[in-house]
């Protein structure tokens, strides 16, 4: 049993501002009979209140002290009203408010107290391709709500999947499949968090069983129409009953209903059983109503019933096809990773499933092949196309020691890659998982639409009943005519196109962004990004490259550039300072040999000293050489290095005279550079300047953001005022804040939030995490392969490319526009059609094909346009 101290608390809970009761007896936290059975590990709603009860098995909680520790840990959660730990049985019962706390939160607190939960939750994804609208999802939700042992479920009609977390000790996947199928939907595939449990290739919607039935029904309906209106001589009476005569055409229509209406009536039955007022139930009522009016009251609405069955089935097939198009964008992400990999084991090359790769395996990747998982290059060199992950348009050169990502493509060379992440934990898997999870984060508009739809359908159904009943009963209008008008309104009462308009746009936007190296972790973040008015940019690693490089080398006293670099390389070779790394990299690139180094010594706060080939040399700040007695106001450059001062040259007869202290060093520092002097005790040999270079696309990115409508762009940095001012001027931000501590960055973001409608903060996702959390939208740069950045940010720019930021804003802005278009277009079209029904302007076929299938296809097609937005390549 592993126990941790009582101070192991969840700061996230504290940050939510919850007030918690002090440690007390379990009975004091909400009462209850201590003898109440607790041998169920399930979450059960307490009807009539907003309290749910969770039972957990915690075998390691076997003493009062353990129980107290677990109780204190769980007590930190907001919304927990009662905790009853029973060390004698190892059971824990928790009552909680589901609006503020989830079973997953409770489990996490128990684990943070140092105890394992037996039979923990299983999270499984079920593929339900026929669940392609909000009403379908509602039926599945109603079915799952009645299954004991399910902790959480999330229906995703836009991807045709249901994610369920359940207690594996109490129920299994088969129970959940049965519940979904009892709701009227087939489950074609199940996938647990670690792998797959069977599945089938998706069948074309046009070759499905329902499609075959639809075509047969359509054929019979067409023949019936020909017999009834064109070949009337064949329309003999088949059956004659008192008040009813069924002709050949009527018989064909009835058979058409029997074949084409099977799926409709079956789904309508499940809707009724689950008390779900949706399009399947409404269409079932319409078809059965038409048949009842014909068979019982002699209204002869057989043709209308057959037409409804055929047209609605065609509409459903069209909707399914249109949703498949939306789902394909996510499917393409999943297909980026290869199914197989060539791995070297025990000296042999074996082809194995990619999901069987283990950390430490060495995989062989030949030219043109996809890299199967995240890893590090051991041998070989090649250009790798990282566009599927980072969105970079130009392949990146890879050499031994470099990182590579799953799903990227080896363009030309041979590579041996050591696996560094399991198949389910690599960068591509994280991207796919986050994109799938993003569907669960609903936008404000989506929540509004769902609330509106809950009122819309009952109101229109009521109007349909009144339309069918009132005119015939009160005004003597033709009953058959107004009955058909009522059926037409019932068809229009389904809000499917209206409800699906937002989620299908969110899926399209998120998957489009993922393909271009931008990972949006929820529709709410996509919506929020489109509404920001101000953007705060961190300097180091965001506006700049985050790596020091040598920008200037000025030889002095007759030395050459290579001699200065050789001296600087030797002195910095034993330094761990980033300046030293920059000098060494520059010297290596120039092919400068490293001298023999001995007697290395660091001079605190000033520089370093060492023997280079038996001669003592120094490297450091100008103050170091002033202390050695040098006159830095009068030195001579071998070349001008771009920094020779005219004033200094006028004071000296020799060309190349420099005043380092008054002019050269201050000028370089004003450009945001750090200056290092190199020399001996007797002679200055040269000057090296290093800087964190501004990204070449930074200035163009800021300009593009302004062009797109961002009102204010600011730079936040912990760097000094002089450097910050220089960088700010170079990139063209509206203002900057320098010398900020992390808490001061948070304050700066909050101040911006008071002045502007929304604020986005862009940083590295690690050091800037507090500021990212304080912003309306937190955006992490260069997140590929960085778990922390993927977890902390709302949006992650996978590549190290700032030009993706304007693309993100443009994508989000356009997504918001498309959502508005879809909502108002679908609502307006429904309203116009409904208003035209009582005037006989809208036939029932138009209500089905235009008001249902047509609108769904229109909003889906409009949403798919987001895939056409592509990032611009921004450079100076």
Catalytic annotation, residues:
538
Q: Report the SS3 class of residue 844.
A: helix
- Tell me how far apart the alpha carbons of residues 859 and 567 are, in angstroms, rounded to a whole number: 67
Count the Cβ atoms, other than its own, within 10 Å of residue 456. 18
The phi-psi region of residue 808 (left if phi > 0; otherwise alpha if psi is between -120 and 50; otherwise beta) is alpha
Q: For residue 48, give both structure tokens.
A: 């009539």
Measured CA to CA in angstroms, residue 265 lies from 210, 306, 312, 698 at distances of 13, 13, 12, 60
Q: Do the strands 80-86 and 121-127 form a parallel or antiparallel pair, or are they unpaired?
A: unpaired
| Residue 327, CA atoms < 13 Å, CB-side half-sphere | 20
Comparing CA positions, the residue from 130, 140, 863, 869 lying closest to residue 503 is 863
Q: Do the strands 244-247 and 237-241 form a parallel or antiparallel pair, or are they unpaired?
A: antiparallel
Q: What DSSP assignment string belongs to 534-554?
A: EEEEEIIIIIEEEEEEEEEEE
Comparing CA positions, the residue from 551, 567, 550 lying closest to residue 684 is 567
- Tell me how far apart the alpha carbons of residues 400 and 87 are, in angstroms, rounded to a whole number: 54
Is the Cβ–Cβ distance between 282 and 264 less than 8 Å? no
Alpha helix stretches (DSSP H) within 27-145: 64-75, 103-112, 134-145
Interaxial angle between packed helices 302-334 and 209-225, expressed in degrees from 0 to 180 and rounded to the nearest 10: 150
Residue 746 CB contacts under 8 Å (≥ 6 apart), including other chains: 770, 771, 774
Chain center to CA of 22: 39
Residue 455 CB contacts under 8 Å (≥ 6 apart), including other chains: none
- Tell me how far apart the alpha carbons of residues 456 and 498 are, in angstroms, rounded to a whole number: 10
Comparing CA positions, the residue from 218, 220, 223 lying closest to residue 235 is 223
- Tell me how far apart the alpha carbons of residues 373 and 609 are, in angstroms, rounded to a whole number: 46
Interaxial angle between packed helices 721-731 and 698-708, expressed in degrees from 0 to 180 and rounded to the nearest 10: 60
Is the Cβ–Cβ distance between 277 and 238 less than 8 Å? no
Comparing CA positions, the residue from 76, 153, 62, 78 lying closest to residue 116 is 62
Is the Cβ–Cβ distance between 815 and 527 less than 8 Å? yes
- Phi first, then psi, for residue 389 (nearest 5°) are -105, -50
- Tell me how far apart the alpha carbons of residues 258 and 239 are, in angstroms, rounded to a whole number: 18
Is the Cβ–Cβ distance between 106 and 94 less than 8 Å? yes
Work out the angle at residue 758's Cα, subtended by the Cα atoms of residues 753 and 763, and round it to the nearest 5 degrees: 80
Measured CA to CA in angstroms, residue 137 lies from 500, 716, 765 at distances of 11, 45, 35
- Tell me how far apart the alpha carbons of residues 41 and 89 are, in angstroms, rounded to a whole number: 13
């Amino acid at each position: 049993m592993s126990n941790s101290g009582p101070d192991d608390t969840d700061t996230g809970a504290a940050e939510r501002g919850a007030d918690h009761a002090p440690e007390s007896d379990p009975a004091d936290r909400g009462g209850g009979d201590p003898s109440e059975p607790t041998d169920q590990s399930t979450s059960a709603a307490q009807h009539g209140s907003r309290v749910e009860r969770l039972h957990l098995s915690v075998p390691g909680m076997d003493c009062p002290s353990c129980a107290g520790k677990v109780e204190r840990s769980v007590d930190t959660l907001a919304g927990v009203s009662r905790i009853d730990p029973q060390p004698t049985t190892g059971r824990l019962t928790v009552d909680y408010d589901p609006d503020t706390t989830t079973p997953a939160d409770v489990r996490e607190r128990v684990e943070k107290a140092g105890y394992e939960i037996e039979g923990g939750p299983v999270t499984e994804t079920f593929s339900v391709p026929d669940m392609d609208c909000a009403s379908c999802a509602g039926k599945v939700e109603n079915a799952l709500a009645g299954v004991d042992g399910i902790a959480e479920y999330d229906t995703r009609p836009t991807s045709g999947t249901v994610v369920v977390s359940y207690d594996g000790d109490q129920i299994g996947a088969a129970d959940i499949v049965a519940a979904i199928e009892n709701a009227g939907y087939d489950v074609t595939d199940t996938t647990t968090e670690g792998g797959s449990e069977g599945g089938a290739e998706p069948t074309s919607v046009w070759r499905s069983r329902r499609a075959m039935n639809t075509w047969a029904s359509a054929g019979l309906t067409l023949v019936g129409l020909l017999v009834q209106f064109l070949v009337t001589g064949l329309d003999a009476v088949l059956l004659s009953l008192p008040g009813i005569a069924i002709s050949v055409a009527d018989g064909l229509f009835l058979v058409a209903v029997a074949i084409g209406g099977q799926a409709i009536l079956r789904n309508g039955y499940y809707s009724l059983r689950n008390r779900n007022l949706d399009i399947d139930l409404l269409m079932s009522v319409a078809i059965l109503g038409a048949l009842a009016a014909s068979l019982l009251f002699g209204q002869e609405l057989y043709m209308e019933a057959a037409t409804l069955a055929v047209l609605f089935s065609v509409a459903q097939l069209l909707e399914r096809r249109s949703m498949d198009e939306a789902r394909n964008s996510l499917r393409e992400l999943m297909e980026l990773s290869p199914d197989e990999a060539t791995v070297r084991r025990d000296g042999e090359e074996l082809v194995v499933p990619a999901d069987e790769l283990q950390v430490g395996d060495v995989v062989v990747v030949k030219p043109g092949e996809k890299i199967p998982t995240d890893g590090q290059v051991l041998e070989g060199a090649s250009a790798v196309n990282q566009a599927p992950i980072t969105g970079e348009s130009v392949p990146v050169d890879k050499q031994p020691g470099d990182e590579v990502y799953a799903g990227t493509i080896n363009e030309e060379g041979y590579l041996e890659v050591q696996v560094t992440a399991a198949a389910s934990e690599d960068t591509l898997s994280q991207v796919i998982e986050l994109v799938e999870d993003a569907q669960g984060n609903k936008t404000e508009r989506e929540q509004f639409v769902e609330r509106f739809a809950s009122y819309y359908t009952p109101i229109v159904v009521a109007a349909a009943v009144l339309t069918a009943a009132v005119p015939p009963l009160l005004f003597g209008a033709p009953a058959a005519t107004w009955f058909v008008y009522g059926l037409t309104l019932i068809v229009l009462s389904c809000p499917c196109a209206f409800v699906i308009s937002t989620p299908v746009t969110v899926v399209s936007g998120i998957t489009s962004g993922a393909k271009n190296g931008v990972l949006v972790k929820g529709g709410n973040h996509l919506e929020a990004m489109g509404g920001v008015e101000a953007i705060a940019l961190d300097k180091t690693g965001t506006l700049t490259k985050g790596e020091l490089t040598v920008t200037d080398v000025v030889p002095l006293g007759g030395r050459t550039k290579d001699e200065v670099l050789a001296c600087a390389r030797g002195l910095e070779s034993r330094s761990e300072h980033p300046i030293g790394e920059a000098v060494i990299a520059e010297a290596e690139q120039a092919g400068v040999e490293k001298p023999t180094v001995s007697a290395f010594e660091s001079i605190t706060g000033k520089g370093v000293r060492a023997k280079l080939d038996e001669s003592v040399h120094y490297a450091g700040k100008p103050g170091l050489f002033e202390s050695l007695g040098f006159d830095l106001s009068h030195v001579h450059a071998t070349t001008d290095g771009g920094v020779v001062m005219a004033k200094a040259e006028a004071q000296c007869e020799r060309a190349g005279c420099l005043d380092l202290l008054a002019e050269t060093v201050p000028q370089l520092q004003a450009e945001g550079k750090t200056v290092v002097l190199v020399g001996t005790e007797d002679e200055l040999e040269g000057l090296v300047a290093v800087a964190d270079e501004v990204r070449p696309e930074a200035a163009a990115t800021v300009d593009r953001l302004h062009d797109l409508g961002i009102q204010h762009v600011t730079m936040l940095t912990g760097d000094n005022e002089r450097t910050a001012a220089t960088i700010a001027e170079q990139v063209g931000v509206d203002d900057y804040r320098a010398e900020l501590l992390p808490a001061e960055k948070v304050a700066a973001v909050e101040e911006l939030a008071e002045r502007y409608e929304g604020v986005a903060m862009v940083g590295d996702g690690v050091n800037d995490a507090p500021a990212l959390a304080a912003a309306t939208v937190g955006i992490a740069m260069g997140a590929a392969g960085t778990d922390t950045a993927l977890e902390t940010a709302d949006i992650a720019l996978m590549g190290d490319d700032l030009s993706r930021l304007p693309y993100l804003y443009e994508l989000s802005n356009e997504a918001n526009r498309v959502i508005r278009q879809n909502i108002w277009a679908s609502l307006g079209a429904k309203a116009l059609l409904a208003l035209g029904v009582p005037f006989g302007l809208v036939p029932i076929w138009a209500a089905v094909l235009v008001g249902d299938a047509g609108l769904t296809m229109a909003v889906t097609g409009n949403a798919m346009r987001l895939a056409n937005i592509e990032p611009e390549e921004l450079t100076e």
